[in-house]
Chains A and B, each alone.
Chain A
Amino acid sequence: KQEVTQIPAALSVPEGENLVLNCSFTDSAIYNLQWFRQDPGKGLTSLLLIQSSQREQTSGRLNASLDKSSGRSTLYIAASQPGDSATYLCASPFGPASKLTFGTGTRLQVTL
């Protein structure tokens, strides 16, 4: 059974800082790993999807890496902005079907 853990549960940083969010998973035989952003009261916005054959993906100020051997993925946010404040969730499919197993998320606050 795939279990996904995210640490820390909450993080507060001043504007302009670079930061790293962590995601750990127990089953290294993953097919892909997806990072989402969730604003309060809103649905999930897909940020990045890393295939199992890839080591990282980049989109703007975001960079996600995947290390299957250690069961870890990181989301790097460069030059953080107050608009980045949200909850960030990672998720991985459980088995060949595409049912996602989610972590509990990291709540990020970027202060002025």
Chain B
Amino acid sequence: EAGVAQSPRYKIIEKRQSVAFWCNPISGHATLYWYQQILGQGPKLLIQFQNNGVVDDSQLPKDRFSAERLKGVDSTLKIQPAKLEDSAVYLCASSYFGLAGVGNEQFFGPGTRLTVL
């Protein structure tokens, strides 16, 4: 079974530029998550999709971050314009179900390391 795929693996941009990250979840997984992990911290959820609908985007800085999952499969996360504090690893995860009570297990991709100069 193929895992969660992400690209690119690394990205270096200057502040105020825009950047996009792509994620392809495990086949058949209805739920997709984007997390931001700042160095030395645990991951923080940015947005959760159930199929192509948004379940939770309460911690997404909507003035600069956007995400979509148009066909309910792969997803794109965009930052425009980027700030220095956006430097982090952006992790994509997927799970079969979207409810914790169903014993949901999340599987993570390798992440995209973003450096904003």
Seen from chain A, the residues whose Cβ lies within 8 Å of a Cβ on chain B are 4, 31-32, 34, 36, 41-46, 49, 51, 89, 91, 93, 95-100, 102-105
- Distance of A39 Cα from B95 Cα, bound (Å): 21
Task: Please determine whether A34 and B106 come into contact, CB atoms closer than 8 angstroms.
Answer: yes
- Distance of A104 Cα from B44 Cα, bound (Å): 11
Task: Please determine whether B99 and A98 come into contact, CB atoms closer than 8 angstroms.
Answer: yes
- Distance of A49 Cα from B111 Cα, bound (Å): 21
Q: What is the 8 Å Cβ interface bit string for chain B, positions 73-109, against chain A (1 contact, 0 not)? A: 0000000000000000001010101111101111111
Shortest C-beta distance, B113 to chain A (Å), equals 7
Of all chain B residues, the one with the shortest Cβ separation from A91 is B42
- Distance of A34 Cα from B103 Cα, bound (Å): 10
Shortest C-beta distance, B96 to chain A (Å), equals 10
- Given the interface contacts A97-B48, A97-B99, A98-B48, does A45 sit within 8 Å of B42 by beta carbon? no
Q: What is the 8 Å Cβ interface bit string for chain B, positions 1-27, against chain A (1 contact, 0 not)? A: 000101000000000000000000000
The majority secondary structure among interface residues of chain A is strand
CB contacts (< 8 Å) of B45 on chain A: these are 99-100
Query: B22-53: which residues lie under 8 A (CB-CB) from chain A?
Result: 31, 33, 40-45, 48
Shortest C-beta distance, A33 to chain B (Å), equals 10
Q: List 30 A-B contacts (CB under 8 A).
A: A4-B42, A31-B101, A31-B103, A32-B100, A32-B103, A34-B105, A34-B106, A43-B108, A43-B109, A43-B110, A44-B93, A44-B108, A45-B108, A46-B106, A46-B108, A49-B103, A51-B103, A89-B42, A95-B100, A96-B101, A97-B98, A98-B95, A98-B100, A98-B104, A98-B106, A99-B45, A99-B48, A100-B45, A102-B42, A104-B42
- Given the interface contacts A43-B111, A46-B107, does A98 sit within 8 Å of B43 by beta carbon? no
B55 within 8 A of A: yes
- Distance of A100 Cα from B35 Cα, bound (Å): 10
CB contacts (< 8 Å) of A97 on chain B: these are 48, 55-56, 98-100
